[in-house]
Chains A and B, each alone.
Chain A
Amino acid sequence: MKMTITAAAVRRLLLATAACALSTAAVAQEELNALVWCDHTDPALIEPFEKANDVKVNLKEYEGTGAGLSIVEQSRPGDWDVFVIDGVDVPRAIDMDLLAEIPAGRLPADDIFPEVRMEANNSKDGKIYAVTEKFGYNTISYDKTKVDPKDMEDLSIFWSDKYKGRIALYDYYLPMIGLTGLAIGKTTAELTMDDLPAIKEKLFEMKKVARQVSDVVASQTALVTGEVDIILGGGEWVTAGLMAEKPNLDWTVPKQGALRWAQSIGVFKDSAKQDLALKFVEYILSPEGQAKLATSSCYWGMPANAKAGEHLTDQQKTALRWDQQPEYLRTTQLYPVVDAELDAAMQDVWTEMLQQ
């Protein structure tokens, strides 16, 4: 008796599984596979596109261009349709022959802030391969009720004991090495192997005054719980989303300048769904898509399309510092451009610093 019940249960389970498999097959829509940064995984951004085009967008997030490229390398050609990549690394992707040419007519080229168009990176031989979609800064975020905002205007504060034990360093080697370079007067674009020993020494010193080296959420947690009062490497993308609840958080660009990050979006050359992929790129670059991307749940950042402003509230614009952009764009520099060797050396320096 007992056995029949178990057998029946097993049969029902098998049937249910089969039904499940069948039902997913029955409603199988077209799918778009995108290799992205985490801000693209916000349903508020993706769902409108999915509904409008009756597709399912599969998103895989990655951390760092090296990891992204290795995912591509381990995949079969045609596995991926859309690629979001660090603006400074687009030439690498073009050289690897990964990206398809984007017809200029389908892009809102004139609406994109001239300073972030980055034609030198995004195109080659007059052909466009990627478009800047979002940008922001790795600079200084802080709690203005706990620190003297004037101190935040100078990077040298990170090599003094004044805020010892109250600083979190953002755990990403590229901008942090860039910022350290700025502090000792090196331009990020010209960083070479020879600059690393000096930077390493400064990083080690900085580690001594820092309380922790953390990813986005751990830094945010530390800032709102009062664990730390300053995040070096932070910026609007760390604090803007929190400002509604924690108005005492602020960020600034110090006098030495800061780093500017920019992400580009492109279509994979081997994608079998060129048109759909292009539609997705168009959507992301449209004013609506841009506004949603700018205020994505993962992190905020300036939209590349100037018209996105029409879809943002005044409060959102204030948090993003919409009006101060010209000045920030002038005083900030792009991430260092590195080859594999320099990249590995920089990561070694960073890991050594963590182990200090």
Chain B
Amino acid sequence: MTVTPLERAEQRKAWGFALPALVWTTAFFLFPFAYMAAISLWTRSGGKIVATWTLDNYAAFFGKSHLLKALLNSLEVTAIVTVISILLAYPLAWIIAERVPKRWQRMALIMAILPFWTSYVVRSYSWLLVLSKGGVVNQTLIWAGLVAEPLQLSASRTGTVIGFVHFFVMLLTLTIYANLVQLSPNYRRAAADLGASGLQTFRHVILPLTLPGIMVGAFLTFVLCIGDYITPQILGGNNELLLPQVIMLQLGRRADFPMAAALSLVLMAVVTLAYLFCARWLKMERT
């Protein structure tokens, strides 16, 4: 294939447009990431970072049970949060897409995600008050006679999960809704014509069609949830540590950057695995 001078000029122009974004991402994302990966193979000794190549930090991670446990805790919490959030958000997105009159749908959706725009830090702290012994939730439960004694909701994994679920129910309602409204009503009509009941239509037609969207939402939830520091730090009461908390401990208390870098790479590896899983799954769906 020959390239004409005109095409070459065009291509040069195209590079000019694409380059700023590529350079920025390389300089401020790819390069720092590579540098951090290098640092994770160094050590901190005698108060200084020493550039000796070693796998000590990774060995320490897999050798010290409290560090490994942070990863397991993170995975558990993230899995619980992702599942609960999808189960709660799907019906809400469905109701907004199917039961709310068209002209009110946008408003209903905006209302469902409005609390996004409260400061994240303040919102987590607000949950602490809501979930406390004398807080709204416990008072309501006692008043309704559902429990006799206030439950330990804050300062526990329950608190962390509730804080996370709140955030991701909003996010997933948005993504699932976007998926549902894209479905052509013809599918449903066709299913009904073939004699499917409402539930059957949902199970065999709607759900499979929205699954790819759910997977994308689930992956987004996974990435954001497993990397978050604020929610477990404020709501978890240090009754267990998640991976980001341990990473911040390496920085804030030990000033051990190589260890923090190694733990970050472990986090990154887990996210990549999740991504590969989702991607593979989506590919299988399509073929």
Contacts and interface: CB of A to CB of B under 8 A. Distances in A.
A contacts B directly in the complex (CB < 8 Å)? yes
Interface of A: 63-64, 66-67, 69-71, 73, 96, 165, 171, 173, 211-214, 218, 221-222, 225-227, 340, 343-344, 347-348, 351-352, 354-355
Given A214-B237, A354-B240, A355-B73, 6 more contacts: A171-B238, A218-B234, A227-B132, A344-B254, A351-B66, A351-B249
A64 B239 contact: no
Contact of B253 (A67, A73, A352): A67
Interface string B151-172: 0101110000000000000000
A73 B46 CA distance: 12
9 contacts: A66-B255, A71-B255, A218-B237, A225-B134, A226-B132, A227-B154, A352-B65, A352-B66, A354-B239
A173 B252 CA distance: 13
A355 to B, nearest CB: 4
Contacts of B240: 354-355
Which range contains the number of B residues in contact with the other chain? 35 or more
Contacts of A70: 47, 255, 257
B286 interface: no
A211 B252 contact: no
Q: Which of A173, A218, A225 has the most CB of B within 10 A?
A: A218
A351 B246 contact: yes
A214 B245 CA distance: 13
Per DSSP, chain A at the interface is: helix
B133 A212 contact: no
Nearest to B159: A212
Interface of B: 45-48, 64-67, 69-70, 73, 128-129, 132-135, 152, 154-156, 234, 237-241, 246, 249, 251-255, 257
Contacts, number: 89
Contacts of A343: 254
A354 B238 contact: yes
A63 B155 contact: no
B134 A226 contact: yes
A71 B255 CA distance: 8
Contact of A212 (B48, B70, B237, B246): B237
Which A-B residue pairs are the 6 nearest by beta carbons? A70-B255, A212-B237, A213-B238, A212-B155, A355-B66, A225-B132
A211 B128 CA distance: 14
Contacts of B239: 212-213, 354
Contact of A225 (B70, B135, B241): B135
Given A347-B254, A355-B69, A69 B237 contact: no
Contact of A227 (B65, B133, B241): B133
B133 A347 contact: no
Contact of B47 (A171, A227, A340, A355): A340
A221 B132 contact: yes
B133 A214 contact: no
A335 to B, nearest CB: 14
Given A218-B234, A227-B154, A351-B66, A340 B46 contact: yes
Nearest to B156: A212
Contacts of A352: 65-66
Given A221-B132, A226-B134, A227-B133, A66 B66 contact: no
A340 B255 CA distance: 11
B155 A348 contact: no
